[in-house]
A and B are shown apart, each in its own frame.
Chain A
Amino acid sequence: MAAIENRTFKRQDGKDKVTGLGRYTADLQLTGMTHCKFRYADVAAGRITRIDTTKAEALPGVFAVVTHADTPDLQHGGYIQDRRLFAKEYVRFEGEIIAAVAATTPEIAQRACDLIEVDIEAMPIINDIEASLLAGSPLVHADWKDYGDSYDIVREGNDACHTSIVHGDVEAGFAAADHVVRERYVADMQHAAPIEPRAVVAEWHGDQVTIWSSTQVPFNARAGVAHTLEMPENHVRVIVPHLGGGFGGKCEFHFEAHVAAVARKAQRPAKLVFSRREEFIAPDHRREGMVIELETGVKADGTLTARRGKVIIDNGAYTADAGFFPELAGMHSIGPYRLPAVDIQAHLAYTNHQPSGSVRAPTAPQANWALESHMDELARTIGMDPLAFRQKNIVQDGDTTATGQVLDPHGAPQCLQTAAELIGYGRELPADEAIGFAIGWWPSFGSSSGAYIKFNGDGSATIITGAQECGSGAVMALPRLAANELGMQPEDFSIVYQDTESGPYDMGSSGSQTTFNNGRAVVAAAKVLRERLLEMAADKLEAAKGDIELVDGTARVKGSPEKSVDIAELAGEATGGDQLIATGSGTPPSAPEVDGSACVGRMGMDSWVAPTFFCHAAHVRVDRETGVVRVIKVAAVHDSGTIVNPIGAEGQIEGGVIMGVGQALLEGSRIGDDGRILNAGLLEYKLQTMADAPEIAVAFVGPAGTNAGPHGAKGIAEPPSVPTLAAIGNGIAAVTGARVRQLPMTPNRVWDAMNA
């Protein structure tokens, strides 16, 4: 493992969060503030024939009722502009917003919502992702060929994005195989379920609005408000108080414009706080349901010859940020294996369900679960040990992937080896216990990012960044990187973040990109200051600049530590003269070259910047009578390049493993015949508790990344949520001899598989 100098330190937001002093969006109170509630469609599909808000507006205590008529007549969406703030003619899922109310209390606002009269003419409900794609299926968006888009999306029927990954001669590969295994896997949809339900507060000052929002992506939220309310971006300020988790579910522009619109009409600040039920049904971000069919040829010696795959992803009613999901799911259906021929067809099916959108490693936990279950079935078919089978086929340095990317040196084989050692593979286990493996890969995301650093007169410094903190470690990694550059301590840096009016643009807490991109920006800014400090010290110490080093808060002459000056002294002088202020941005790593000439629907996911590799091994116990699975231990080994902040990196891995256990065994949203979610609450949507968490052994392997983040770091937030599901599934199959082919692998489903 590569690492930079490291010691633990207290994160800036830590004390607030653990003592309860921290203020979250829902805690805000403003003078004259009103409370906002939404009126939802509450049906999965239909045509609106009448909206009458008269009675709601007449209710004492109501300040404003807002519908589509109060906002610009336009559509929005990152990939395809298929969405409106407020439903106008059609409703396409139960959480579609028809109106927003601002009133003196939440109870009055709710009562007013109930008083809004809405007539909806029923339309056919597209409730099944496979039926959605059949010829002749009614369209979720009848006129969507006319919608604007931001990518070259292949549109046909209800297929919101068709992507293919085609490479080599698949037919010849199957002909050369000794065995061909064909399987089908189904994943129920899941939810991010952050502990903090969404909240938004909006306050206008003339024609400018300040919005406090529990978003992971304040700049995207700002862009969404500016677009949908037709305002310049510098009239919209988005501030994120402490964020109570997101897991991707709070990515993208969500409800900021709705609350801003109702606050403007009410001429008072307005606050929206979601109930848990709303948190389940309304956001356009939840983990997509999927059907994955894989067919793979293998030789008796374990050599893979070809794969054909079909992936159908539940897009829900609107595309949100899911445009790249098919290509990403396709890549995860291939995995980090040597495969001479592939033909993967992946589709994004419009349905009348809640929209899908990025949740921590979108598409990957499900696709990886299908792939790695399939790999174990292939190993079983030829009578080969699953570990040896993976070792034989895993990618090596310099290999070319199915999309034509040449892999830089990486630690994939080492991940497998180390995980086997950490879990103690090969030892004798009781009959109801076994170990399962899964390997996978995940891209880092290169994105533009920026930061400023300013020194204060006493030698302390402040980082002003566009980065957003969502447990992603901005408050830890950024001070550490700056300190490392300047010979200072992380505690010497305070951080100003989560405010679009102070920091430069950033993609937000998404795509495992904060340390990867904003880290580079902070290092770039720190390097500018480093040069300045070296110059000042060289003058003062009458030494050549090249002979000065920054160590322990001082600038000193190399080899003559007695010739030194405190950085604080230099900062004090600069504060009275030429100030120590710097900006950093830096060019994002470029996407590696690929060959996608045979593919359609290319969305940029065929080329992976600084890919990460990983292996999780799960030791499970299965109760054969009830189908209950207990995960005893997970060994999680990652090639994440250089580790900038070990305690944060380990926390990401542990959190990802625990999330993976929940996705594997408990979490699944079920949809009724009416297209509505049946278990939109924490009583019926089971999240695991810490009592269910396994022992977790974490290790990092592999070289510093090339074409990567600061010091060779790769993205780390999403990968750990990927391979635990398949490792558990393979453990279950090893104990029972039965393969569970639907997520989550509930006791009932395990028992069904055993008794099939």
Chain B
Amino acid sequence: MIPSTLAYTKASSIDEAVAAVAAGAVPLSGGQSLMPMMRLRLAAPEAIVDLGGIPELVGICEDENEIAVGAMTIHREVAASELIRAHAGLVADAAAGIGSPQVRNRGTIGGSLGHADPHSDMPATLIAAGASVLVRGPNGERRILVEDLITTYLTTTLEPGEIITQVRIPKGDDHSAYAKFHRRAIDWTIVGVAICIGDDGVRAAATGVADRPVRLSAFEEVLNGGGSLDDAIARIAEGVEPHAGLDGSVEYKKHLLGVLARQAHAEASSR
């Protein structure tokens, strides 16, 4: 189907983009989610603002403690980044497995977070990595933990007029992995588990088992309290609420969490 009529502008600076969004425009990043939704008329924005012309939103750099990834950085570049691979291998791995090469060449890290689909890989891996986002809005800049960013289906804690400008990933030794289950390479993830084993303990998050990416708190609690992996997996589904759908039943998805956690934990431990 053809999208309904709309106004299109291309911003050349963050301020310009923020002004447009504050005026009601929907930000367009890589267009890998918004455009299909518009084609299906599930979304019918009256105006969109293209973020593709803002150079400072693209690229990966570091400071002493964090890696800074521009929100418009495409998945392919995240996947190829030695810096990200060295400090948060699971983020690079997840980026390398998103959709198809075409999607990875257009889709962006900020777009994936802002779209807030519970089956996207990027949010759970960034939660496990302890990442935050920098957002800019009419009232200036603020920082939000990725864990606090997504509240439910396609919904974030961004205020009206705010856009994500940067993802900040803490640096550290990389003992991390992301294991996911899907039917074909190009498909959405059905269930995914992201695990980071750091100096301050294990952090784990999951894709596809609730209306948002979720922190696997009970699983973490057992491991960080010195419990065994088996005991942690026995409690992994506590607090998750998978949706029974065409892609699997509630029981099956809860079972997959355990299978994937075991895979991810083994791989993270071996790194």
The residues of A with any CB-CB pair to B shorter than 8 Å are: 106-107, 110, 275, 625-627, 666, 670, 678-679, 683-684, 686, 688-689, 691-692, 747-748, 751-752
Decide if B183 touches A748 in the complex (CB within 8 Å).
Answer: no
Query: Number of residues in B with C-beta < 8 Å to the partner?
Result: 17
A692–B247 alpha-carbon span in the complex (Å):
18
Which residues of A have CB within 8 Å of B248?
747-748
Decide if A626 touches B246 in the complex (CB within 8 Å).
Answer: no
Decide if B249 touches A626 in the complex (CB within 8 Å).
Answer: no
Which residues of B have CB within 8 Å of A670?
246
A110–B181 alpha-carbon span in the complex (Å):
38
A686–B255 alpha-carbon span in the complex (Å):
22
Which residues of B have CB within 8 Å of A625?
259
Which 5 residue pairs of A and B lie closest in terms of their CB atoms, listed nearest first? A748-B252, A748-B248, A625-B259, A107-B2, A679-B246
Tell me the nearest residue of chain A to B183, going by C-beta: A686
Decide if A626 touches B184 in the complex (CB within 8 Å).
Answer: no
Q: Is B84 an interface residue (CB 8 A)?
A: no
Decide if B184 touches A748 in the complex (CB within 8 Å).
Answer: no
Contact A691:B2 (CB < 8 A) given known A670-B246, A748-B248, A752-B252: no
Decide if B185 touches A110 in the complex (CB within 8 Å).
Answer: no
Contacting residues of chain B (179-214) with chain A, CB-CB under 8 angstroms: 181, 183-188
Q: Is B1 an interface residue (CB 8 A)?
A: yes
Q: Choose among A110, A275, A678, A692 the residue that contacts B246 (Cβ–Cβ < 8 A).
A: A678
A689–B186 alpha-carbon span in the complex (Å):
10
Contact A691:B184 (CB < 8 A) given known A106-B2, A748-B249, A751-B252: yes
Decide if B2 touches A626 in the complex (CB within 8 Å).
Answer: no
A683–B248 alpha-carbon span in the complex (Å):
15
Which residues of B have CB within 8 Å of A751?
252, 255
Tell me the nearest residue of chain A to B263, going by C-beta: A625
CB distance from B147 to the nearest CB of A (A): 28
A89–B255 alpha-carbon span in the complex (Å):
49
A670–B247 alpha-carbon span in the complex (Å):
11
Decide if A688 touches B184 in the complex (CB within 8 Å).
Answer: yes
Which residues of B have CB within 8 Å of A678?
246
What are 8 A-to-B residue pairs whose CB atoms are below 8 Å? A110-B1, A626-B256, A626-B259, A627-B252, A679-B246, A686-B187, A747-B183, A748-B247
Which residues of A have CB within 8 Å of B186?
689
Decide if B1 touches A275 in the complex (CB within 8 Å).
Answer: yes
Task: Mark interface residues in B1-23 (1 if CB within 8 Å of A CB, else 0).
Answer: 11000000000000000000000
Secondary structure at chain A's binding surface: helix, strand, loop or mixed?
loop
Q: Which of B181, B187, B246 has the most C-beta atoms of chain A within 10 angstroms of its own C-beta?
A: B246
Which residues of B have CB within 8 Å of A683?
187-188
Which residues of B have CB within 8 Å of A688?
184
CB distance from A97 to the nearest CB of B (A): 18
Which residues of B have CB within 8 Å of A106?
2
Decide if B1 touches A691 in the complex (CB within 8 Å).
Answer: no
Which residues of B have CB within 8 Å of A691?
184-185
CB distance from B233 to the nearest CB of A (A): 12
A684–B256 alpha-carbon span in the complex (Å):
20
Decide if A666 touches B246 in the complex (CB within 8 Å).
Answer: no
CB distance from B134 to the nearest CB of A (A): 33
Decide if B246 touches A684 in the complex (CB within 8 Å).
Answer: yes
A524–B135 alpha-carbon span in the complex (Å):
78
A751–B248 alpha-carbon span in the complex (Å):
10
Which residues of A have CB within 8 Å of B187?
683, 686
Contacting residues of chain B (210-238) with chain A, CB-CB under 8 angstroms: none
Contact A686:B1 (CB < 8 A) given known A678-B246, A748-B248: no
Decide if B181 touches A626 in the complex (CB within 8 Å).
Answer: yes
CB distance from B104 to the nearest CB of A (A): 17
Q: Which of B1, B2, B183, B249 has the most C-beta atoms of chain A within 10 angstroms of its own C-beta?
A: B183
Tell me the nearest residue of chain A to B181, going by C-beta: A626
Which residues of B have CB within 8 Å of A686?
183-184, 187
Which residues of A have CB within 8 Å of B249?
748, 752
Which residues of B have CB within 8 Å of A748?
247-249, 252
A581–B98 alpha-carbon span in the complex (Å):
61
Which residues of A have CB within 8 Å of B188?
683
Task: Mark interface residues in B230-271 (1 if CB within 8 Å of A CB, else 0).
Answer: 000000000000000011110010011001000000000000
CB distance from B209 to the nearest CB of A (A): 14
A244–B188 alpha-carbon span in the complex (Å):
27
CB distance from B29 to the nearest CB of A (A): 21
A689–B181 alpha-carbon span in the complex (Å):
17
- Given A691-B184, A747-B248, A748-B248, 7 additional A-B pairs, CB 8 A: A110-B2, A625-B259, A684-B246, A686-B183, A689-B184, A747-B183, A748-B252
A94–B1 alpha-carbon span in the complex (Å):
19
Tell me the nearest residue of chain A to B253, going by C-beta: A748
Which residues of A have CB within 8 Å of B246?
670, 678-679, 684
Tell me the nearest residue of chain A to B186, going by C-beta: A689
CB distance from B82 to the nearest CB of A (A): 29
CB distance from A427 to the nearest CB of B (A): 30
Tell me the nearest residue of chain A to B260, going by C-beta: A626
Which residues of B have CB within 8 Å of A627?
252
CB distance from A515 to the nearest CB of B (A): 34
A689–B184 alpha-carbon span in the complex (Å):
8
Which residues of B have CB within 8 Å of A747?
183, 248, 252
Which residues of B have CB within 8 Å of A626?
181, 256, 259
Which residues of B have CB within 8 Å of A107?
2
